[in-house]
Structure 1
């Protein structure tokens, strides 16, 4: 009789554990996403294909951890007011500030200027401002980025040290005062964006390895935010080489940027 009771109790406990596991799994699968993220990257990634591939793998993992949905587009054709309104974060992962439809331009300007829909995280190629591939420069986007125009870059890449300037900014939470980037092109511009934006970090041109004469002259912003716009926005220059996803500082900045841009306090404070 004692043995039968033991077996019975054991069976009940096993059933309860199984039910609990199934319930938790179903709950996690049906849990409402905290926010929605849209990422835009050129079809096939172009010369940035390895970076985009690494970013997609990393973002997919982050989306599961942070409980957000993630959609991709390869051009600006889908973009209009209604489309952008469904997303709380827009990541310009690898797409230049040209080849945009007029409708997409108007919708994006409104999204950033009014700040009603969500936030923006832009990388690298987003400051390729000028006349490229037969397209004119987008004046509003140039002003958004601090009134700059692309001038030059280091085609052979250079290792360099980045200095954190705005240590209290949420995007730089947990980042050391300096960190190294192994391979980057380090764009230069026709002028410094600093007077028109909030500079969060700069690259130390004296640390270029190998050295280069393609420099901004000492003050070289590489992460900034245009606080004149109502939408949370941040531009992160680094974004060419897939090795960045082996860089703990870069990963933390990217993660923090998504949390901050989403505007969800409970997410940003994790």
Structure 2
């Protein structure tokens, strides 16, 4: 019997070791502080990029949305083709330098996660926004448990992610559209019922300068995280909002975990409206905002 137990323990340890080896990338990304991969040589941009132009960025040093990222990249590429925008997609953080960013009018963060920039790249991105560049952040781009770069979470996203439901992870819930005057929300119903991985934040971003476009009805789903942790935010649970960073326009939506989300006509319509707004093709927001005030109304 002892021999059988001994061999069983060896087999279990071997299986565990195989699991660790095969999944080490994911384990490192989520549980060991994330990857520490930083590019220093920027990608080769096309000689000509039509304006207005969007830079779609999907680098992940944290959790990687393997299924959603390529589908969302394809959606933003289709937007560019249909709208006549210039477009470039990369996971190379070194594109965030003054010269390369000057060729774009807005940046889309497609489920970006982890600490993805060097100090110089952070500074270039901050300058781009404050000087009037646009930003659209999607789902995982605001979904890290902690950030080394506090300016990003406090002044760009504007809220600290704290978790999402588990068991089940994906649930149908009701999104209430609070402001349908924004170009991203005009074609959405007042109550938008859809399935996603629903993010909760430490506190609502609703404060002077931040404009909530949609909130989540917490009565429409079970908001319990790992080990039954209560993730409720109460009646004010923003899920989509915008604000200004200097003269730059910032739009964030916490929706979009699953690949299927980017095939939903209403979700795609919202993202298209968001990018048009970030490109300053619609709206007059942030035109008079101070270039030194990160949250001007």
TM-score over 0.5 for the pair = yes
TM range (shorter): 0.7 to 0.9
2:177 alignment counterpart? 164
1:154 alignment counterpart? 165
After TM superposition, where is structure 1 displaced by more than 6 Å over at least 4 residues in a row? none
Across the aligned residues of Structure 1 and Structure 2, the Cα RMSD in angstroms comes to 2.4
Q: Find out whether 1:249 has 2:250 as its counterpart.
A: no
Q: Find out whether 1:144 has 2:188 as its counterpart.
A: no
Instruction: Please give the TM-score of this superposition, normalised by the length of structure 1.
Output: 0.76
Q: CA deviation at 1:45?
A: 10
| Superposition pairs of residues 44-193 of structure 1, within 5 angstroms | 47-96=64-113, 98-115=115-132, 118-131=133-146, 137-145=148-156, 147-155=158-166, 156-184=169-197, 186-193=198-205
Q: Is the 8 A contact 1:36 1:70 kept in 2?
A: yes
Matched residue pairs, number?
A: 227
Instruction: Please give the TM-score of this superposition, normalised by the length of structure 2.
Output: 0.70
Judged with a 3 Å threshold, the aligned counterparts in structure 2 of structure 1 residues 220 and 169 are, in CA distance, closer, same or farther, namely: same
Q: CA deviation at 1:129?
A: 4.5
Unaligned segments of structure 2, at least 5 residues? 1-48, 225-229, 284-297
Q: Is the 8 A contact 1:198 1:224 kept in 2?
A: yes
Tell me which structure has the larger Cα radius of gyration: 1
More helix per residue:
1
Q: Is the 8 A contact 2:57 2:89 kept in 1?
A: yes
Judged with a 3 Å threshold, the aligned counterparts in structure 2 of structure 1 residues 172 and 229 are, in CA distance, closer, same or farther, namely: farther
In the TM superposition, what whole-angstrom CA distance separates every residue of 1:47-71 from its partner, at most 9, and x where no partner exists?
4121112112222322221111221
Unaligned segments of structure 1, at least 5 residues? 1-31
Judged with a 3 Å threshold, the aligned counterparts in structure 2 of structure 1 residues 199 and 215 are, in CA distance, closer, same or farther, namely: same
